[in-house]
Structure 1
Amino acid sequence: MNSGQIRSAERALSVGTWLIVGGAMLFSILTVTPLMERHSPKGWEWTAPILPLVVDAAVVIVVRLDSVLAALGGDGGRWPIALRWMTGCMTLALNIADSALKKDLVGVAVHSVAPLLLIVTAETGLAYRRAITAARTAREAQLNAERAERERAADEGREAAERRRREEREHAAQLAREQRDHEALLAREQSAREEAARREERERAEARERAEREARERREQMREQQQAERERLEREAAQRRELEAREREARERGEREREQQEAEREREALLSAGPAEERQEEPLGRRTVRAAWEAGLSIRQAAELSGWSTGWVTARYQEHRDGAKPLLEAVT
């Protein structure tokens, strides 16, 4: 199986799994909501869809994270298994509860189809993804082995070519040495006559080299001095930047501490004001409810402090909880 076929199988598995999950969630919401409406306190019937949505959200989390872990070849341990089966059993119980209370065996069987299919699909999809991950790993290992074999063969070819070129260079060098020896033999007589001139030329060349070497040494010394000066200036600049960064950090830390102290004083003032004689303005009421939520007060206490209804306060508490979820997920 090649990489394209593996990706196609993963897409088919992902699409099929989410179709089943989506259908089961929709069926569960439509089935459980009437049951929850009949068993909710009067005036709170609007909360009936919350429970099936929460349970189905847990199912989505389990399916999504299991797919990611399976793709990475990881194992979440016992807790993901417990959550997977707990959410599946909850979905099954909520879907068949209405028919079971009515002692309708046909209804129990019909309403158990979607939850059971969801449970089996979650387990089967996890197994399929692990198998696909293993197949991809084996495929990548095979490709890496083939690539390593090709590279080894290419290296051997390059080494053989390099050996041939080295032998050719050595042969050419040997011929050149023989040619130079022959030329030296012919020129030996003439070199004796020219030795004095060459010696004089060497002396002049050595004098020029000494002068150039001294000039280079002087230039090198000047460059070293300039380099040392630049390094000193850079160190001083770095020290200044570090000092400025520390001062800026101290200022920012002081600003944050002042803001935290102001927020704490405002929260204490709102909570110590006592029950409101009349409903507060909405911005003030929102701040009062948030202070109560951060202090861990109940919904009724927050309603007394702000003067708003418990339903309105419950909605605000839910907004704060929803806003805190991403932070908790980022921390975990």
Structure 2
Amino acid sequence: MAFFLETLLGGLMAGMLYSLVALGFVLIYKASGVFNFAQGAMVLFAALAMARFSEWIPVYTGMDNLFVANFLAFIGAGVMMFGVAWLIERLALRHLVNQEGTTLLMATLGISYFLDGIGQTIFGSAIYKIDIGMPKDPIIAFESLFEGGILINKEDLYAALIAAVLVALLTLFFQKTVTGRALRAVADDHQAAQSIGIALNRIWVIVWCVAGVVALVAGMIWGSKLGVQFSLTTVALRALPVVILGGLTSVPGAIVGGLIIGVGEKLSEVFLGPYVGGGIEIWFAYVLALVFLLFRPQGLFGEKIIDRV
């Protein structure tokens, strides 16, 4: 029982990180109705900015306080992501208002390649590390309940808590604020939203800024765990099954989908892997996403769209 709970907790913590990355896809889709293929590049760009700023600030300021240096690096990277969001809206999206979804999709592909290139040009292409002070030593919990206790990775626990707080704040933002409701209106119908006075350009800037912050937090956490390198863009691919499972238009769906896939990966690898030679964790999420595409393509919480002709 203790081993099962240990695996379950590991899956839940991994699932929260998947949910965080998936939120970037959901945010952009809710505002523009297009799948944002640039999300992985945004995670890499934000992580590169955070890693390099945290290196440069102590060198050029003589500061030896890790917390303050990381805080300033986070602020600097956040400002840079806001600048990226503004430029994307100003130079690309503003000229594509009311265009077909395919056009917007291709625009995000172009943005992805641009961010990949310019990020490595500015910050370099080596492998960098982000040290945000999260403890990496495991702890033994619930020793009084289970013999030997349950082994919990502190870094994964802290990362999951950070992701959970951000997810909760974004959920409140969408459900309780005027801007959040405006975002949902824009996602439903661009022209109708404009007709009632919603400034589409302003909404797109806001949502790309929020998605940039999400990418920054995700890049910071994944960079701390795996190091900042080009392969970080593939983290976004791990979130694709999450948004398919939860629904492209649902913030709660991104959360639930991430938790289901995180737990499913861990449990299947541990309990089924030995019977099939292992490796289930690599493809489990994609097979589950395929099943949902066949039987419930809108996902668990997505809206079923019916076209009447």
TM-score in terms of structure 1 length: 0.20
Larger Rg: 1
* Greater relative contact order structure (CA < 8 Å, 6+ sep): 2
Question: TM-score, normalised on structure 2?
Answer: 0.22
